[in-house]
Amino acid sequence: MTLDNHFSVSRDVSIHAHADRLPEAPPAAGSPPPAAQAAGTSRFHESARAQVQGAASYVDDIPEVKGTLYAAPILSTVAHGRLLGVDSKAALAMPGVRDVILARDIPGDPVLGNFSHDEPVFALDRVEHVGQVIGVVVADSVMQARRAARQVKCQIDALPAILNVHDALKAQSYVLPPVFVKRGDAQAALKAAAHTLHGTLEVGGQEHFYLEGQIAYVLPQEQNQWLVYSSTQHPGEVQHWVAHALSIASHAVRVECRRMGGGFGGKETQSGHMAVWAAIAARKLNKPVKLRMDRDDDFLVTGKRHPFAYDYTAGFDDTGRLTGLKLLMAVNCGFSADLSGPVADRAVFHADNAYFLENVEIASYRCKTNTQSHTAFRGFGGPQGMIVIEAIMGDIARQLGLDPLDVRRRNLYGIGERDVTHYQMKVEDNILVPLLSKLELTAQYRRRKQAISAWNSQHSVIQRGIALTPVKFGISFTATLFNQAGALVHVYTDGSCQVNHGGTEMGQGLNTKVAQIVADELGIAFEQVLATASDTSKIPNASATAASAGTDLNARAAQYAARTVRDSLAQFVAGLDGCGAGAVSFRSGQVITPAGRRPFTEVVKLAYANRIQLWSDGFYRTPKIHYDKTTLTGRPFYYFAYGAACTEVAIDTLTGESRVLKVDILHDVGNSINPAIDIGQIEGGFVQGMGWLTTEQLVWNDQGLLSTHAPSTYKIPTTGDIPEHFKVDLWPEPNREDNVFGSKAVGEPPLMLAISVFEALRDAVASARPDARVQLEAPATAENVLRALGRLDG
């Protein structure tokens, strides 16, 4: 039987995404208000109709000012070397070319204004990766600039390059010092353990592959002021970087972003580079400049998810309970620090996933290599922390001949005991046991496990595997200062409302959820609320829309702003009706008191006539969080988001091909503000994680060139990779912490549900090996599956 024939007879179940089902939850600190009507229901994304009509505006759709010029980057073709000179004569002689902008043209600091201050705006006296930007060519058209950029000749004296973490470890080449976290006595525990195992694992990076590429459009304004349109997750950082490079005050730079066509972390810092390069060109030529990256250049210039390599020794007892663990994480950071420090820290924080580590030593090495500077990607180190402990759980089960789910359950965090993480945070909201138990039953894990075993014993070519894995993901920026947000709410005299906040919309539905929360706070219809473009002139110093905290922070700030307006109106109406302000309620477009009711629009007009303020700001900072970044101990997270996935796969042992057959997910989003959007995030996150662990392979050649720099060679999942049985259910309980609407973050945690795909593939490989020992590297491409089966060398 061929692989396709096997799959054609097994795909018989439809998707069950319960977008219309709301969790029935008992009241809690974070429960929704009783009058909630906009939130808690599935609503279309606020831009959905405009997007399908082609009417939603992105940066490249903004009408261009007369005289706009276009920039294209000049890229290094050498992984490491001394930059001796740049010959731009041929490029300058080409039609339409206005100038070539190099490091000498930077008015301010030639090094980017980031925390680590280790990355030059343009290459200075050396280049450190293939694709490093040496300068930009500016021309009258996009194609003129791109063609001319390829004619710039750079004289580079090549130096030895470090292209992998193993060589970096030998050379002690680091972008940041190593970090060590310990609890208990791992060495003694390993020595006393009934069983031990040693293993290694390699996990590759991942390209963000946002549909809208990197782009910035910079326009000179009067009096040395600048307007920057940027496709960015962090307008405030773009503002700071541009001001830093131009040597001007931040108040002279305004950054606006209405929406992005995807970000996934790739536009948290990387978008700042485009804006700075365009701004320097605009400053020199005193003309508007747009820089839109070609997709191939985007691949070569921008950072990816961090590749990791692991070395571990685990000790455990006869039941599979882990008693000791020594773990080395080698993080491929690329040539500069970027966000590698917090990414590597979060990997350390999530090396436990859902399991209590009693005696543990973790060494995290932040390796400097001559590749792109790797950056944020959905999960931000969490996936790389979790995947290794899940691999260890699977290895323990196979060594002892136990069911991997039983080993996982044996090691789960407890309640009232075994409930403190290795970084000294108590797990107070643990729902792991009931959540896993429910999914085990609804997914019919035990029955399917037996059926798969029977199948594998009768078939030699197609082997199947199954895995059920949990997720426990901490929510908050690990850098405590970023856990703050601001918002503005304006109510107009016709009763309509405009809200602006510091978050950015990248398709995840943030603006939709914020509008739902504001509508309920004011007791008006969702359609009366409009969320507007992120703008540094409205909300200053906003944090990046990242860490899955966009709604937690910005919706709460907007709720507080709306509440201030509502309270002002309540006091005004209470004065009219002779009652206390607490007796005034707002719902269904009505303002209700013991004396009667008035339309919200009428109350607003009366309030304006009486000079009552109809706008307010709101500010929110996450409570309870703190941690010592030198020891990586404390409470870095406000709460945990939980989930579990049961995945069934099949592999062809002759070709190494694999396919995901069935997926069952039970995920914890608290009280869902918008179930349709949340389920979309769960499905999308899972598929993106599946791509990271199966098909999305980044390959650098021995010269440091990223060979997989286009869709022809870099394979993201397609619709054909999605199993027909793809079932998503929401866990029916509100957030136990006082979070907006009782909800939980949903952006990143679902990606790690896809670790179940990798563990199911390892289960299938083990069934085909006589020794049941699995050495499968990620992504589990056909070649890597064949290597794990022992049928391909190298």
Q: Which sequence positions are flagged as catalytic?
A: 748
Within 13 Å and on the Cβ side, how many CA atoms surround 656? Answer: 18
How many CB atoms are closer than 10 A to CB 220? 17
Q: List CB contacts of 792: < 8 A, sequence separation 6 or more.
A: 656, 783, 786
Angle between helices 432-442 and 445-458 (to 10 degrees): 50
DSSP code for 371: S
Instruction: Bin 586: left if φ > 0, else alpha if -120 < ψ < 50, else beta.
Output: beta
Radius of gyration of the chain (CA): 27
Residue pair 84/94 in contact by the 8 Å Cβ criterion: no
- Separation CA 317–CA 315 (nearest Å): 7
Within 13 Å and on the Cβ side, how many CA atoms surround 174? Answer: 14
**CA distances from residue 277 to 93, 100, 139, 502 in whole angstroms, order as listed:** 22, 12, 14, 24
555: tokens are 């919706």
What are the residue ranges of helices labelled H in 247-327?
270-285, 295-301
Residue pair 270/303 in contact by the 8 Å Cβ criterion: yes
Which residue bears the tokens 């990798």?
A: 758
- Separation CA 406–CA 394 (nearest Å): 10
- Separation CA 101–CA 88 (nearest Å): 10
What are 181's strand-pairing partners? 362
Please list, residue by residue across 425-443, b when 16 or more beta carbons sit within 10 angstroms of its beta carbon and e when fewer do: bebebbbbeebbebbbeeb
DSSP code for 750: G
Residue pair 737/29 in contact by the 8 Å Cβ criterion: yes
